[in-house]
Amino acid sequence: MSAALTLRGVGLTYATRRGEIDALSGVDLQVGDGEFVALLGPSGCGKSTVLKLAAGLMSATTGEVLLADKPVNGPGRQAGVVFQKPNLLPWKTVLENVLLPARTLRLPAAPAKARALEMLELVGLAQFAADYPYELSGGMQQRVGIARMLLHDPHLLLMDEPFAALDALSREALTLELQRIWSAQRKSVLFITHSIQEAVFLADRVLVMSPGPGRIIEALPIPLARPRTPETLADADFLALCQHLRRYFSHA
């Protein structure tokens, strides 16, 4: 079976001044083509470490990390990444911020600009292209980050708690928006969160990680119909899935 992302027997040990920290141990996971996978786990269990390995920002201590069945080898064009903070450059406009990766990825200028404008349209920010980040709300800034992630049309989206810093209403709106973008663009997604509701709402499958050293302790399919809507949040099946996951975190 072809998979957008595969981790097989992955372990990661950080060397620190206070000795070695085993962040991950024996992690096996897959994100299928076009699949939306949420990775759920308590703080410090190694979620961001998984994402950095998938993005090629670090190498695994043991095991294999494959993108489309090939070993990942440094940051590349296959994946697009967003973090909790959008890391926008304050002296650049919204459009220039979306275009930031164009040079490193060696994208030809004119098509890159056209694509950037298209992605700003997709995230509902077309009319803000010439504004500066300080003129935007936190939710709008995070949308700029999403447009930037999509600039080079990556096959795999890697998202590390992208909405965690937002207020509850922006968070809900962006969750709906992400579902829309994902279904329009047919991407494969690894979405990291510590919100049970967010994971169940968005994902085809929720992977639960144990406290550190992290490994996957459950892979839960989410058979809820799409598109999911605000009414889904009150759906009995939705609530039962959340309740099932909650028992892993009742001591957190």
Ligand X SMILES: Nc1ncnc2c1ncn2[C@@H]1O[C@H](COP(=O)(O)OP(=O)(O)O)[C@@H](O)[C@H]1O
Closest distance of CB 126 from Mg ion, Å: 31
For 87, the token pair is: 């890391």
User: Which residues face 216 on adjacent strands?
Assistant: 209
The 57-96 site mask, x for binding ligand X (CB under 6 A), equals ----------------------------------------
Closest distance of CB 227 from ligand X, Å: 29
DSSP H or E segment with residue 50: helix 47-54
> Which one of Mg ion, ligand X, none interacts with residue 41, CB within 5 to 8 A by kind?
ligand X
Residue partners of 89: CB distance under 8 A and separation at least 6: 96, 97, 100, 133
Q: In terms of CB distance, is 12 or 122 closer to ligand X?
A: 12
Which of 44, 111, 221, 230 contacts ligand X by CB under 6 A?
44
Closest distance of CB 160 from Mg ion, Å: 6
Q: Binding residues for ligand X, how many (CB under 6 A)?
A: 13
Number of H-type helices and E-type strands within the chain: 8, 10
Residues 9-28 within binding reach of ligand X (CB under 6 A) = 14, 16, 21, 23
- How many whole angstroms separate alpha carbon 176 and alpha carbon 161? 15
- How many whole angstroms separate alpha carbon 9 and alpha carbon 65? 9
Q: In terms of CB distance, is 51 or 79 closer to ligand X?
A: 51
Q: Counting contacts by CB under 6 A, is residue 141 touching ligand X?
A: no
Residues 37-76 within binding reach of Mg ion (CB under 5 A) = 47-48
Closest distance of CB 87 from Mg ion, Å: 15
Q: What is the DSSP string of 82-97?
A: E-SS----TTS-HHHH
Reference 107, options 148, 140, 136, 73; nearest CA is 148
Q: Counting contacts by CB under 6 A, is residue 133 touching ligand X?
A: no
| Residues near Mg ion (CB under 5 A) | 47-48
